Amino acid sequence: MKKGHLFFLYIVLFLAVEAILFFLLHTLSDLPLHISIMISLCAVLVLVWMFNRNLFNKFLKDNPLSVLQIDTGKETNHKLQNMARMMKKQIYDLHNLFEVSINLTSILEPQQLIKSSILSLIGQLQTNQAMVFLPSKGNPNNISLLYAKGYDKKKWKNFTISLSDPIFAKFNEKMIAVDLQNVEEEFLSHKWIQMMNSGISMIAPIIPKKKIKGIIAVGNKMNQEFFTRSEREIFSLLAHFISVAFSNSILYQKMEQISITDGLTGLYNYRYFKKRLEDEILRAKRYNHELSLILFDVDYFKNYNDMLGHPAGDKALKTIAQLLKTTVRKSDIAVRYGGEEFAIILPEEGHQNALNFAERLRKLIETFEFDQEDVQPFGKLTISLGIASFPVDAAEIKTLIKKTDNALYHAKHTGRNRSCVITEVQKKKTEERGESGRPL
Ligand code: GH3
Ligand code: MG
Ligand code: MG
């Protein structure tokens, strides 16, 4: 029946009962008319109230939330309070999870992300121990400890496990946290589980793209109680957020790396060179250090290309970059400056060390046997190098690059396959001109 019809029926019933009561009162008693109306109206209202109350209670009885039945009993009051408390906690947890997820997905630096994740886990699960296992740099198939809070790092430092271990298949099936207190029989004998049982309560997987990449582990609760089912669910959810954030941060890192890397040689590109040289000059100024810049260019490279084709030229450029990589120190910055030109920033080095480095590299390339290099004018693929230093040759970037380029130009025009330091070039030019020290 429609709501409107029901309401109409209700009103008709109300008026009918009211009319009957009034009629009875008025005919059977000597009460005045208005008093009879008032009494009958009150009686009908009481009847309506009682009727509604029964209906409401019946509705509640049939409802799963029957605990909400209006009852003034102490027990129900207590139940209601408990329920309200539980709901409040769940709202609080959800709110927290939401904030944590926003926070985590906004962190793009993987190390920072891992630290924040651990802190979030500790806060959300009320434990004071958490750690993350991820593949180590040299070994992408094994995971080992990356970051720990509240654990004895020495104990876990040498602990590694292969990602192809059967225990991880369990995670690949379902992305949920595993309570080590209730771990299945088949895993009980597993060395990892045995090891973990000493101080780890739950583990959850880091699965950025359907494949497990690591593990998050948490210790006992601070109040020594067991983790509840809903806490395990929160842990699973957090592990999920961490996985997504981790995947984003790795992607971001890759993109960032690509944006500063030369595609052909894998060296840094010009964009990175400019920024890094600025930073290094600032650092050199602050700490009163020297810094040297080397620019080098492949000799008669157009000829090599023309004779053997562009792919052969590309291969030679790749080989030169490889040789350069093996020659530089970790602190040096090797760059493909453009075309067949390369640059090396040598922080904290003056002329002499830069010249030693340049000569080492020049000889290495001269002696290396490139494919069909006999097509070159002198039968060898060689390079020419120019060197200038901060602050002796230049006090700012533009001049430093210009002077290094001048030195390279000089190397080219005095026979190629050689290294020239700008001060030497200037000295020679001054001597030749018989002038007194006008800079180049
Ligand atoms: P020089 O000794 O004076 O430096 O003579 P060069 O022939 O090396 O100088 P030039 O500037 O005339 O030629 C540079 C050549 O480098 C021309 C260009 O085709 C080649 N080149 C630049 N970039 C690339 C590249 O990415 N791959 C290949 N294969 N060749 C390149
Ligand atoms: Mg060249
Ligand atoms: Mg060139």
Segments making up each domain of the chain, as ranges: 89-253, 270-436
Name the residue at shortest CA distance from atom 17 of ligand 1: 302
298 Cα to the center of ligand 3, angstroms: 7
- How far apart are alpha carbons 307 and 276 in whole angstroms? 36
Which residues are paired to 346 by β-bridges? 292
Residues 6+ apart with CB under 8 A from 325: 266, 267, 334
Class of the CATH-defined domain 270-436: alpha beta
**Secondary structure of the chain: what % helix, strand, coil (to 5)?**
60, 15, 25
pLDDT score for 413: 95
Residue 398 binned pLDDT confidence (cut-offs 50, 70, 90): very high
On the question of pLDDT at 437 being above 70, the answer is no
CA angle 34, 40, 41 (to 5 degrees): 85
Is the minimum distance from the CB of 302 to ligand 1 under 6 angstroms? yes
pTM for this structure?
Answer: 0.68
- How many Å separate Cα 115 from the centre of its chain? 11
- How far apart are alpha carbons 239 and 143 in whole angstroms? 16
Residues 6+ apart with CB under 8 A from 354: 292, 293, 294, 346, 387, 389, 421
On the question of pLDDT at 25 being above 90, the answer is no
The residue type found at 139 is N
- How far apart are alpha carbons 364 and 164 in whole angstroms? 43
Closest ligand 1 atom number to CA of residue 301: 8
Q: DSSP assignment of 95-110, as one string?
A: HHHHHHHHHHHT---H
Tell me 205's DSSP state. E
pLDDT tens for 28-60 read 777 777 887 888 788 878 777 776 665 555 555
Is the minimum distance from the CB of 317 to ligand 1 under 6 angstroms? yes
339 Cα to the center of ligand 1, angstroms: 6
Least confident of 101-110, 252-261, 292-301, 409-418: 101-110
* Among 298, 340, 365, 418, residue to substitute to test ligand 1 (most atoms within 8 Å of Cβ): 340
Which whole number is the average pLDDT over 406-433? Answer: 90
305 Cα to the center of ligand 1, angstroms: 7
pLDDT score for 188: 57
CATH (one of 3.40.1710.10, 3.30.450.40, 3.40.50.2000, 3.60.10.10) for 89-253: 3.30.450.40
Question: How many CB atoms lie under 10 A from the CB of residue 212?
Answer: 21
371 Cα to the center of ligand 2, angstroms: 17
Residue 1 binned pLDDT confidence (cut-offs 50, 70, 90): low
pLDDT tens for 150-193 read 988 888 888 888 888 877 776 666 667 777 666 665 565 566 66
Is the minimum distance from the CB of 262 to ligand 1 under 6 angstroms? no
